[in-house]
Structure 1
Amino acid sequence: MELRNVRGLTGVDITPYDISGGSPGRHLGLPSATATLIIDLADGLVLGTENRSGTDTYRCVLAGMHLRPVTIHHDGSQVGVQVSFSPTAVRTVFGVPAGELMHDATELSQLDAPFARRLHERLAQARRQDRAAVCAAALTDIAADDSPVGDAFAAWDYLARRRGKATIADLVEQSGWSARHLTTLFTAEFGVGPKQAARLMRFDAARAALAAGTPAVDVAIGCGYADQSHMSREFTDLTGHPPRALQKLRAAEFA
C-alpha cells in the first residue's frame, strides 16, 4: 500500500509480511534511498550491522538510509509490517531530518514511546489482511499537516523523479545555488550528499528492474550506469555481491 497526499503524507510504502516454514538463517537488509520502519509481531527483529559487534533485538525499529547491508537473523519465520519512508515522509511523520537516522537503527519508542506502543498494539490485534490499512491510519494520525519544503527537498525530489540520473550541474541549474552550498544543505538534511543519494536511487531502480526479469545489460543502460560492468561493481560495493549472486542469495533466504 502506497500513501499519496494524505494530510501531506507522501513517499510511504507499507508492506505486511507473514513468512513461515523456512529454515533458520539470515536475511540481508539492503541499502536504499529510503528509511525503513519494521514492526515485528513475533519475538522481535534481530539485527546485526557492520559497525557493531553482536546483534540487537527490536520490537519497532526505525532504520535510516545506509550504504552497507544490515543482517536480519531469523528462525525461519517472520511476521510484521515493513514501512518505507522517503526523507520527506520522515520529516512529516517523525519530525526529524532523515540525516539524524543515517547509518543507524533506533527503537521507535526512543523517538515516540506512546506512538510506538499504540502502533504495535493496533497491528498485533489486527487481522492479517487489515494490517496495511491499520498502519496507514496510525501514521496519518501523527503526520504533520504540510510536507516540508526547501531547496534540499526540491533537489531530492528532482533526483528521485529521475531515479538518480542527474548530475550536480543539473541540480545547480534547478536550484540557483552554488554546488557547494547546495551540497551543504542537502547533506545537512539527508545525511548524504547528492552523489551518494543518486547512487542509492540508481541501485533501488536497478534492483527492482532485475527482480522484474529485465536483462542486466538493459538495466545498466536504463538506470544510468556506464555499462554492465559498472553496475556490477556498484552492486558489489553496496551489498558485497554482484547482481546475479545477490539475486540467488535473496531467492534462497527463506527456502
Structure 2
Amino acid sequence: MYEERPSRLAGAVVWTRAVARETAVRPVLPDGCMDLIWADGRLLVAGPDTRAYVPENPVAEYAGVRFAPGEAPGVLGAEASELRDRRVDLAELWGARAARRLADEVTGAADRAAALEELVLRRAAGAPAPDPLLRAVVARLRAGGSVGAAADEAGLGARQLHRRSLAAFGYGPKTLARILRLQRALALVTAGVPYAEAAYRAGCADQAHLAREMRALTGTTLTGYLSGYRSAYSETAAPSGSSTTA
C-alpha cells in the first residue's frame, strides 16, 4: 500500500509504501524528481530518471521524501547529473558514519516517514537556497510552456540554461519538458481521459506522438501502463512517476 502527503519542505512530498511479497514489481517512470529513501534500514538516493527503473531487489517497507525538480541537489550536496539514472547509498554522498547514524535514527523512529522528513528539513535549513530562475523554468514547463519561452522568461540564454539544468535536474531542459509532458498525459489517462484527448491536452502533436514518447521514456505502452496501474494500485493510487521502490 502506498500513501503520501505534502512535506513541510516546499514542493516536496513525503511517502510510504509497504510491499507485500506477492505484489508485482512495477517500473518507476521518469518524473523529473529525486528522492531520499529509507528502505528497510538503509538510506538511498534515487537520482533523476531518463528511463523506467525496475527494482531488482524490492524490500518490504519504504519511506521517502520526493523533492520537486531541481530542489534536491542543494540539500543532498551533489549535482543531479552525477546521480542520473542511479540509486546510490547515502554513504557515497555524506560518508559511511553519517549515513549509518542517520539511517539508525530513522529506523528507530515510531514514524519513519516523519523522521526522514525531519532529517531533510534540518539539512535544507543549512543548504543554499534553490535557484529561483530554475523554479520559474520548472513552473513554465510544467504548465506546458516551451523551453524557449521558459528561458526567455527566466532571462537565461540557451547554453546557460542547459548548464544549470544539468546540475539541477540531471539533464537538459528539453528532456525535462518531455518528462513533465508525459506525466501530464499519464495523469489524464489514469483519470479516464481518452488517449487522443490526453495527448492533445498534454501538449503532444497527436496520439501517435504520445505513444512514441511513452515507449521512448518508459519502454512500455499506454495500455500496458494503465493495466499495471489499475492492478497494482487498486486500493491506493500512487503517482505514475513516484520513486516508491529503490
Provide the secondary structure at the position in 2 that maps to 1:219: helix
Match of 2:10 in 1: 10
AA partner of residue 44 (structure 2): V
Residue 162 of structure 1: how far off its partner (Å): 4.2
Matches within 5 A, 1:28-107: 28-41=27-40, 59-74=42-57, 78-107=60-89
Q: How many pairs are equivalent?
A: 229
For the pair 1:111 / 2:93, whether they are aligned, the reply is yes
- Give unpaired runs (5+ residues) of structure 1: 43-58
Compare the two structures and name the one with the higher strand fraction: 1
Q: What is the TM-score with the length of structure 1 in the denominator?
A: 0.77
Are 1:164 and 1:198, in contact at CA under 8 Å, matched by a contact in 2? no
Summarize the Cα distance change of 1:138–1:174 in structure 2 as closer, same or farther, 3 Å threshold: same
Q: Which has the higher contact order (CA 8 A, sep 6+)?
A: 2
- Give unpaired runs (5+ residues) of structure 2: 235-246
Correspondence for 1:137 among 115, 118, 125:
118
Are 1:160 and 1:201, in contact at CA under 8 Å, matched by a contact in 2? no
Match of 2:154 in 1: 175
Return 135-144 or 81-90, whichever deviates more. 81-90
Residue 206 of structure 1: how far off its partner (Å): 2.2
* TM-superposition CA deviations, 1:42-78 (whole Å, max 9, x none): 7xxxxxxxxxxxxxxxx32212112111211357x62
Using the aligned pairs only, state the percent identity. Answer: 28
AA partner of residue 101 (structure 1): L
AA partner of residue 237 (structure 1): A
Distance in 2, matches of 1:147 and 1:3, equals 19
* TM-superposition CA deviations, 1:188-236 (whole Å, max 9, x none): 4433111111111112222233233333233222211112221111111
